[in-house]
Amino acid sequence: MEVAKEVGGMIVFIEHRYYGKSIPFGANWRQDLNYQFLTVDQALADYAVILSVLKKDLGNPNRKVIAFGGSYGGMLTAYMRFKYPNIVDGGLAASAPIFPMGKYDFFRAVTDDCHRYNSLCPVRVRSAFTGILKLTESVSGLEKLKAKFHLCSNISADNLQHFLLWIRNSFTIMAMVDYPYAASFLGNLPAYPVNRACDKILAADDALDGLADAVAMFYNSTSGPVQCFNPATEFMACADATGCGKMSQWDIQVCLQVRFPSGTNNVTDMFPPFAPWAPSDYEAYCTKKYGPLSYSHDFFSIDFWSDSIAASSNLIFSNGDLDPWHTGGVLKNIDHAPSIVPILIKGGAHHLDLRGHHEDDPESVVDARNLEVRIIKSWLAAEQLSTAATGPK
């Protein structure tokens, strides 16, 4: 909003198909493979058509378009420039993991956030998980876990894994939204929630009590103050190890196209070992939940270029070093592609630069935003100079 005012631009938010109100087939979208059109390719085509029509309706089919987005939206931003450079003239792709990620990169980065604040924090978390697994060996231990974590129902062999993933999910989200001020994105969390969680973990006499306090801080922020916690409803295990929120749409997209191999090993990270899914795991899960699906095995490498993006231009890739998704982002200059600009924001979390200015912004994000504006203006100015040289159009 701030940049649009500065450059005299118009902001257009286009709803992604199958999300919000733009749901083909209405209430029956999950039936009879009606969700097969929930793909990146189809979403991009929607945007291309809408932008083309809008430019004509505004009386100027040559009107310039700068795409922007964060996270999956950042990926779509880059893909729009890759696939429709005739429609999109440049893009700001924030926190966009378009490069292949290592199997354990994401949760290693979550652990690094805790270590960066206090090196003892991951040590205590590991100790707490060891304590959890020991308590699961007896009935009395399971009852103690229920009490410590203020759970609404008992832990059993059937839901133990989900309980552990529920705990891990709290750190996943806190690392993503580790903003320098209180924010309501993905929960009403305090400033630097990772630091606050570590404070609770380190302040407790017992590591397990500290972990329970940290997890309670997170889920109280997302569910509101509650008498007890219900992992079954507060965390949706899905095809994306980093979580799908409470929407099945993203789960389906992961089954069809967008897969990030992500596991934990308790060596490079502080979480219990959970091996990243093999292709057979995805097929078993996705088929059981949604029926036969045709997964695009070459989605990243063929459709969207994998890490060979030098042929593109006019793209800014911004990432925060606190954001675990930066491990799949564009972090270095690309040979022979001077207008593809990586920006690494020290102390920045998930697409912090796309948020409005705040008095507690670190200098790094202020500098990043200023650079982004200068680059976008240069793209627009270059076009204006080209137009002036060739005469009015």
Domain 2-98+304-390 has CATH 1.10.10.10: no
108: tokens are: 């290693």
Q: How far apart are CA 144 and CA 391, in angstroms?
A: 78
Angle in degrees, CA 124, 129, 131, rounded to 5: 95
Contact 354, 70 (CB under 8 A): yes
Supply the pLDDT for residue 123.
97
Amino acid at 153: S
Q: Which residues contact 352 (CB under 8 A, 6 or more apart)?
A: 179, 320, 323, 345, 361, 365
Considering 71, 248, 262, 318, which one is annotated as catalytic?
A: 71
Supply the pLDDT for residue 383.
55
Contact 125, 114 (CB under 8 A): yes
Q: How far apart are CA 38 and CA 18, in angstroms?
A: 7
Task: Write down the architecture of domain 105-290 according to CATH.
Answer: Up-down Bundle (1.20)
316: tokens are: 């800014």
Q: How far apart are CA 78 and CA 304, in angstroms?
A: 9
Supply the pLDDT for residue 190.
95
Domain ranges across the chain: 2-98+304-390, 105-290
pTM listed for this prediction: 0.92
Q: How far apart are CA 382 and CA 51, in angstroms?
A: 21
Supply the pLDDT for residue 312.
94
Task: Work out the number of other CB atoms within 10 angstroms of the CB of residue 14.
Answer: 13
Contact 37, 24 (CB under 8 A): yes
Contact 96, 331 (CB under 8 A): no
Task: Work out the number of other CB atoms within 10 angstroms of the CB of residue 386.
Answer: 9
Supply the pLDDT for residue 263.
95
Consecutive 10-residue runs of the chain (393 residues): their mean pLDDT? 91 93 88 89 95 93 93 96 95 95 95 97 96 94 94 92 96 97 91 97 96 96 83 92 86 90 93 94 92 76 78 96 96 93 97 95 97 95 50 39
Q: Is 105-290 in the same CATH topology as 2-98+304-390?
A: no
Question: Catalytic annotation on 323?
Answer: yes
Q: How far apart are CA 331 and CA 307, in angstroms?
A: 12
Considering 105, 323, 353, 361, which one is annotated as catalytic?
A: 323
Considering 350, 351, 353, 361, which one is annotated as catalytic?
A: 350
